[in-house]
């Protein structure tokens, strides 16, 4: 059973890293600002998932706290970027 878990964690880590690579490519070459914001939001999500997978792999609770911080920061940054794209200003 441990071998199956190790294989699953390795496979999931590779998939998340590959999706982070694709998000980075979209972030760099995205034709519009909305595409770049969506790629950045997805990159944040992938970073959170990678932290969770590493937390399962190493059995440490600090990774889960890091994942929670990443989720909070990504939510606030996505809202700020969306507001900036719609109105052109963040602080009213």
| pLDDT one-digit tens code per residue, 62-71 | 999 999 999 9
Helix (H, G, I), strand (E, B) or coil at 81: helix
Strand, helix or coil for residue 72: helix
Output the pTM of the full model: 0.86
Instruction: State the CB neighbour count (10 A cutoff) for residue 12.
Output: 16
Q: Output the CA torsion sign for 86, 87, 91, 92.
A: negative
Rounded Cα gap, residues 13 and 16, in angstroms: 5
Tens of pLDDT, residues 16-46: 999 999 999 999 998 988 899 999 999 999 9
d(CA 5, CA 90): 45
């Amino acid at each position: 059973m441990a071998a199956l878990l190790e294989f699953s964690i390795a496979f999931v880590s590779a998939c998340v890293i590959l999706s982070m690579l694709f998000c980075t490519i979209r972030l760099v070459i995205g034709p519009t600002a909305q595409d770049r914001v969506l790629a950045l939001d997805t990159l944040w999500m992938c970073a959170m998932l990678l932290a969770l997978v590493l937390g399962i792999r190493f059995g440490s609770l600090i990774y889960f706290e890091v994942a929670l911080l990443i989720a909070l920061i990504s939510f606030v940054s996505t809202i700020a970027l969306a507001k900036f794209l719609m109105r052109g200003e963040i602080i009213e």
